[in-house]
Amino acid sequence: MAAATQRLTVSAGNVANINTSAPVERVGDEPDDVYRPRRVEQAPAAGGGVQTSVRLQDPPLIYGPDGTSAAGLRAYPNVDPVREAVDQMVAVSSYKANASVLAAQSKIDETLLDLKS
């Protein structure tokens, strides 16, 4: 459930910062004040479950035309709103599935305690 929450939080941050941009003064520069989108990577954890790590998306920035900068370019975060929407739906579904498993386990435990008493 923590992994699903982290995926949803990271994706929401990407969407919230989708419109940040900055002019590029020289070709090849990466302005510091442009949001770098992130991705959550999951790996199996020893003993079950998953471990997550947050990494910068590759490539973090995309460039578009800008008539106000010296290089004629503007840097934007490389955020795909469709991918983010899908990632958010998957995270919510994963969270709901895990919550259902916990509820079912709780009912099983309750039934077992009733049988023993």
pLDDT attached to residue 39:
97
Evaluate if pTM is beyond 0.85: no
Can you state the angle between helices 2-16 and 81-116, rounded to 10 degrees? 160
Average pLDDT over residues 66-87: 94
**How long, in residues, is the chain?**
117
pLDDT exceeds cutoff 90 at 23: yes
What's phi and psi for 73, nearest 5 deg? -125, 155
Q: How far is CA 81 from CA 13, 14, 47, 62, 92, in A?
A: 12, 9, 35, 14, 16
pLDDT of residue 8: 96
User: Has residue 70 got a pLDDT over 90?
Assistant: no
Q: What is the DSSP string of 19-87?
A: T--EEESSTT---TTS---EEEEEEEPTTSSEEEEEEE-SS-EEEEE-TTSTTSEEEEE---HHHHHHH
